Chains A and B, each alone.
Chain A
Amino acid sequence: MSSEDYIAPPFFTIISALFILSVATLFGRIRDVFYFLLNPGKLKKQNEGYAPIRDPTEDFYMRRMYGRIVDCWNRPICSAPDAWVDVMERTRAEDTTGVEVASIVPTGGSRRCLNLSSYNYLGFAASDPYCTPRVQDTIQQLGVSSCSSRVHGGTTSAHTELEELVARFLGVEAALTYGMGFATNSSTIPALVGKGCLILSDALNHSSIVAGTRQSGAKVKVFRHNDAPHLDALLRQSIAEGQPRSHRPWKKIMVIVEGVYSMEGEACCLKEIVEVAKKYKAYIYLDEAHSIGALGRTGRGCCEHWGVDPNDIDIMMGTFTKSFGSCGGYVAGKRETVEYLRRHSPAHLYACSMAPGCVKQVTSALEVMMGLDGSDRGAKKVAQLHDNANYVRSRLLEMGMDVLGSWDSPVMPIMTYNAAKMVALSRICLERSLAMVIVGFPATPVLLTRARICISAAHTREDLDWALSVLDEVADLCLLRYRTQALYTNVEADLKDHVARHFGPALAAEATIAGLAAGSFDMTRARAALRAPAGAKKQGSTGGAKDNGEQVQHEQQPAAKRTRTVAVGEVAAKTPASVSVKLNGVTASVTPVANGYHKASANGTVGAHAKAFVKARAVVAAK
């Protein structure tokens, strides 16, 4: 269940939000009518036989609504996006009439703000004593850009080094890197699934996944956000029905979920989803854009957070933009899958390869995270991030704000429900030197507008205390203390569950949000206590309790051994052969036509396409 199910804006809030929107629309319309009555020439000039670039409704929204609050987004900065950031001041350009989109220009000044907006989860965004010199050396040696695609001489030693390290970090066989996170999704998904395949996508999946699924030509069905039972029902029904019209069995079924949802701050309930996907033998594509580096005791993402074996996930995708302070993304998984993508993924074939400097930044950040730099900075960073995030989350909840999301997740949306409150919050916070992101319609439903905080390991406790004191004041000014009881109770139950899973059931009893906020219950101490006894076991996780020990173990464990340690006992080692059985198994279990169909088409191109997913080399050789 998602925490969004527990929130409900009060009746008065709904009325006021809708009232404000209607008034703004009405005034905009009146102004438009008068403007075009008074300037008939302007309207005519725009047409000239061409359809307008924007459709009229969208255009109206942009000019008269978005134009009023345009200063809340695209705020330029003039420093590294570290814990503190210099936000440039802007002013409206004079020629803004409301007929064109408002334009605001920097004045030249800037304001030092606490950065609660950048995805700098682990604090690698700013100059780092370990990473920066290495990046600079790499730029010196390999140049600024390779200016060609990976297959045409854009692959440098840095790229192969990174791909090996990513695979090692994630505990999978191989990885492939791209220069942009968005393109990673939008070019990998169409390469993996195509016509005749089914994609089951979470309702709140990122736009890049949507772009990828659209390009793929596969049938897309959307299941309710983080709702494994709904996924189960949908999968069962889809398999029973088969492809639309022809009712043939699906060639491939892929479930696409994200590790942490960027606008909800919520960790995907991976364990349940993996169980469902396994039950129906569907592939899982996990987008760890926000969770890699941020979740899990050593920052290995959603799998580590829930104690799921990474080898149960067929395709692990993630980005380097967030935690690792660079750019680009990766796809990791079975060697066959990755080799197949190397041959067919458009971003690998046509796009300029990732800039060597960015590559080195990720490599060195990963080295820090894995303790390969010879220090325990990486482990400390993750612990600090979780402490910061949980502290701020508990304090905000105690203040009576409606905060969504999971524990340990660095992303926390503060619900404002009302677009006007959201804008006020953003402006007042900036005035008080707090840089925060707000999100409204059309990115969210009209009544679920929100402000979003991203916590970083670079924030100190003083920074956060100061920010919380500011937010405490602003909450009163913007009337943000909704105190939704159902949400609070649910989040507290989540906390107990979280502590029970990570620190043992003994501590769960004393874990309360109030205690966490007041400092009487402290996860840091709990962790220290946990670390002390050497034999202590972490539930459902892959290794022992010692930070360094665990990392080493994690890396050196052979794949076969690792599958055995998984909590869900029924996993068989997935060799390519068994995967292809799985592929046929989906169909075989549903309809008797299935086997015949697959055999008949096995030699054709369609069959080759279906097999391609597991037998990359066959297709590479054939094409």
Chain B
Amino acid sequence: MPIQAVSAATVEKYGVGSCGPRGFYGTIDVHLQLEAELAEHFGTEAAIMYSYDVATIASIIPAFANRKDIIVVDEFCSYPVQSGCTVSRARVATFRHNDVADLERVIQKLEAEEKSKRKPLCRKLIVVEGIYANYGDMAPLDRIWQVKEKYKYRLMVDESHAFGVLGATGRGACEHFNLKPGQVEIIAASMSHAMGSVGGFCVGDRATVEHQRLSGSGYCFSASLPPYLASAGIHMLRQLRGSTGGSGGASGGQPEQLAKLAAKIKALRGELMKGVPGLKLYGGSLPSPLLHLHLAKPSGDGAADRAVLRAVADHMLSCSGVLVSVSCYSKLDTHVPPPSLLLHVTLGLGDKEIALAAAALRRAAKEVLKQ
């Protein structure tokens, strides 16, 4: 049954909204079902759903850190992570992007300080993203995990862009780096990317998840996800799992759909790495479906650069019929990334489309950037 039909049927039965937070009769059986299936897919004890993607990590972080605690976070993390850190009021330290040595340095400094002040043991958290939304590159989770184990920090990974893309069964960047379920304490992801629905979720052991049910503000104080979106999520998750032959770990090699997607990512990235005049692809040949193209020679003026990229995007749309977007950041971001041209690889793209997109981009870049 197509996903639209599933959704329409759910709307008929449950209506659209759930009209209440999860605690107050807003928990509908499809929510429980989706949570159970997510936990099963990730091989964790439990899962919890949030009704909005940006609210997911922004409410999980404050649930696990308050004034007394420490958060170490990658400097290039996206806004939801930043806002979660602010709301938590914890002590926030940043480390250089994807620099594990710097992470270790920051942690050592913090540890020394804690020791000298003889502070009681507090909750410590490292927050990274599987695939960084603002750059499209991946966190070196294997090495970060070693640091985390060494210093007894908890690791939180935002898998929003990696879930359903990376790993043998599509569990995300953790699986890609051969981390077993449970090795990373808190995994959060958005359901609005690969899952084609709306909302977000978090998986972990039972204590972690149950704690959020009382402390996750976006969970407690917000109406739950409309049931039809939950059932759409279930439908997609089953498709993903069906194609991977269940959740039986990383045994059966790359399943069909994930392999197809990986091939497409490789094709487009390869195409663009051959060179686009005036633009450079961030991250090179990483298996990330999120492509950020920056100006090769940025003028230093964000607004002007953005206007140039906007012109490239407009040219691509009007002359070749290819829709790409230009990244757009709020003034609330503490670290504003350079403006970039944003491309997403999806399973729906064929070889022809990938070639078309690359050609369109080249043409647009040549014509716009030359002026």
> Would you list which residues of chain B between 29 and 62 have a CB under 8 Å from chain A?
29, 31-32, 51-55, 58
Q: Answer whether residue A160 sits at the interface, using C-beta atoms and an 8 A cutoff.
A: no
Q: Within 8 Å of chain B (Cβ to Cβ): is A152?
A: yes
Q: Which residues of A contact B58 (CB under 8 A)?
A: 186, 211
Contact B211 A54 (CB under 8 A): yes
Judge if A51 is at the interface, Cβ distance under 8 Å: yes
| A24-32, A228-236, A264-272, A316-324: which lies at the interface | A316-324
Q: Does A349 contact B (CB under 8 A)?
A: yes
Residue of A nearest to B328 (CB): A151
Cβ of B323 within 8 Å of any chain A Cβ, yes or no, is yes
Q: A51-B124, A53-B208, A127-B15 known; A182 and B192 CB under 8 Å?
A: no
Across the A-B interface, give the 5 residue pairs with the lowest CB-CB distance, nearest first.
Answer: A352-B192, A180-B52, A182-B222, A321-B223, A118-B19
Q: Name which of A137-145, A240-248, A516-524, A545-553 contacts chain B.
A: A137-145
Q: Is A115 an interface residue (CB 8 A)?
A: yes
Chain A nearest CB, measured from B52 CB (Å): 4
Give 10 A-B pairs besides A75-B27, A77-B25 with Cβ atoms closer than 8 angstroms: A50-B124, A139-B4, A139-B8, A143-B4, A187-B83, A214-B89, A321-B18, A322-B223, A355-B229, A609-B331
Query: Which A residue sits closest to B83, measured CB to CB?
Result: A215
Q: Which residue of B lies closest to A182 (CB)?
A: B222
Residues of A with C-beta under 8 A to B220: 207
A339-357 interface with B by 8 A CB criterion = 343-347, 349-352, 354-355, 357
- Contact status A118-B26, CB under 8 Å: yes
Q: What are the interface flags for B77-88 relative to A under an 8 Å C-beta threshold, 1 for contact and 0 otherwise?
A: 011100100110
Closest approach, in angstroms, between the C-beta of A284 and any C-beta of chain B? 22
Query: How far in angstroms is the closest Cβ of chain B from A202?
Result: 16
* Separation of A619 and B133 alpha carbons in the complex (Å): 25
A292 → B minimal CB distance (Å): 14
Q: Which of B166-174, B193-201, B243-251, B353-361 contacts A (4 or more CB under 8 A)?
A: B193-201
A51 and B123 contact, CB distance less than 8 A: yes
Known: A152-B342, A355-B226, A435-B25. A144 touches B17 (CB 8 A): no
Q: Which of A190, A326, A345 contacts B226 (CB 8 A)?
A: A326
Is B11 in contact with chain A by the CB < 8 A criterion?
yes
Bound form: Cα–Cα A187–B333 in Å:
12
Instruction: Select from chain B the residue with minimum beta-carbon distance to A81.
Output: B19
How distant is A212 from chain B, measured CB to nearest CB, in Å?
9
Determine whether A179 belongs to the interface, using a CB cutoff of 8 Å to chain B: yes
How far does the alpha carbon of A357 sit from the alpha carbon of B89 in the complex, in Å? 37
- The answer to whether the Cβ of A78 comes within 8 Å of any Cβ in the partner chain is yes
B103 within 8 A of A: no
**Which residues in chain B, 1-31, are within 8 Å of chain A measured between CB atoms?**
3-4, 7-8, 11-20, 22-29, 31
User: CB of A577 within 8 A of chain B?
Assistant: no
Q: Answer yes or no: B325 CB below 8 A from chain A CBs.
A: yes
Q: Is the CB of A80 within 8 A of B302?
A: no
Binds B, one of A14-22, A82-90, A218-226, A417-425: A82-90
Interface bits B181-207 vs A (CB < 8 Å: 1, else 0): 000000000101100111000000011
Residue contact B225 to A325, C-beta cutoff 8 Å: no
A338 to B350, CA, bound (A): 39
Task: Report the contact-size class of chain A (Cβ under 8 Å from the partner).
Answer: 35 or more
Supposing A182-B55, A344-B330, A352-B53 touch, asked if A126 and B15 sit within 8 A by C-beta, the answer is yes
- Report the minimal beta-carbon distance from A49 to chain B, rounded to whole angstroms: 4
Question: A135 within 8 Å of B by Cβ?
Answer: yes
Are A349 and B218 in contact (CB-based, < 8 A)? no
Q: With the chains together, A351 CA to B57 CA distance in Å? A: 12
Among B64, B69, B78, B190, point to the contact of A352 (Cβ < 8 A).
B190
Given A181-B223, A344-B331, also A81-B51 (CB < 8 A): no
Across the interface, A351 reaches (CB within 8 A) one of B52, B223, B342, namely B52
Residue of B13, B17, B55, B220 ringed by the most chain A CB atoms within 10 A: B17
Contacts of A558 in B (CB 8 A): none
Whether, in the assembled complex, B76 has its beta carbon less than 8 Å from a beta carbon of chain A, the answer is no
Query: By CB atoms of chain A within 10 A, which of B23, B83, B122, B207 has the most?
Result: B83
Q: Which residues of B contact A54 (CB under 8 A)?
A: 211
Whole-angstrom CA separation of A103 from B303 in the bound complex? 53
B210 beta carbon closer than 8 Å to chain A: yes
The answer for the CA separation of A125 and B18 in the assembled complex, in Å, is 7
CA distance in complex: A417, B247 (Å): 49
One of B26, B55, B196 near A147 (C-beta < 8 A) = B196
Pick the contact of A74: B22, B192, B329 (CB < 8 A). B22
Given A50-B154, A62-B214, A350 and B332 contact (CB-CB distance below 8 Å): no
Cross-chain contact A120 with B78 (CB below 8 angstroms): no
Q: Could you say which of A79, A152, A206, A357 has the most chain B C-beta atoms within 10 Å of its C-beta?
A: A357
B15 near A623 (CB under 8 angstroms)?
Answer: no
Minimum Cβ distance to chain A for residue B135 (Å): 14
Provide the bound-state CA to CA distance between A118 and B52, in Å: 20
Is A214 a contact of B27 with CB atoms below 8 Å?
no
Please report the C-alpha to C-alpha distance between residue A191 and residue B331 in the assembled complex, in whole angstroms: 8
The answer for the CA separation of A535 and B193 in the assembled complex, in Å, is 56
Tell me the bound Cα distance from A351 to B133 in angstroms.
Answer: 12
Contacts of B226 in A (CB 8 A): 326-327, 355, 357-358
The proximity string for B residues 95-130 relative to A, scoring 1 for CB distances below 8 Å and 0 otherwise, is 000000000000000000000000001111000000
B17 contacts A321, C-beta separation under 8 Å: yes
Question: Is A437's CB under 8 angstroms from B25's CB?
Answer: yes
Residue-by-residue, is B206-232 near A (CB-CB < 8 Å gives 1, otherwise 0)?
111011011001101111011011001
B260 at the interface (CB under 8 A from A): no
Indicate whether B335 reaches chain A with its CB closer than 8 angstroms: no
Alpha-carbon separation in the docked complex, A180 to B222 (Å): 8
Closest to A622 in B: B303
18 contacts between A and B (CB under 8 A): A53-B208, A75-B27, A78-B28, A82-B15, A125-B16, A136-B11, A144-B196, A148-B192, A180-B223, A182-B222, A187-B54, A207-B220, A327-B18, A345-B330, A349-B328, A351-B54, A357-B226, A358-B17
Could you say which of A125, A187, A322 contacts B15, with CB atoms under 8 Å apart?
A125
Q: Is B180 an interface residue (CB 8 A)?
A: no
A172 proximal to B (CB < 8 A): no
Chain B residues within 8 Å of A87, by CB: 25
Residues of B within 8 A of A191 (CB): 330-332
Against A, the Cβ 8 Å flags (1 = close, 0 = not) of B273-309 are 0000000000000000000000000000011000000
Q: Are B25 and A350 in contact (CB under 8 A)?
A: no
Chain A residues near B87 (CB, 8 Å)?
Answer: 186, 211, 214-215
> Are A135's CB and B221's CB within 8 A?
no
| Contact, CB under 8 Å: B8 / A76 | no
* Chain B contacts for A80, CB-based, 8 A: 13-15
- A481 and B221 CA atoms in complex are apart in Å by 30
By beta carbon, the residue of chain A nearest B79 is A346
- Minimal beta-carbon separation of A66 from chain B (angstroms): 7
Decide if A183 is an interface residue (CB 8 Å cutoff).
Answer: yes
Which residue of A has the minimal Cβ distance to B25?
A117
Q: Which A-chain residue is minimally distant from B80 (CB atoms)?
A: A350
Q: Which residue of A191, A325, A343 has the most chain B CB atoms within 10 A of its CB atom?
A: A325
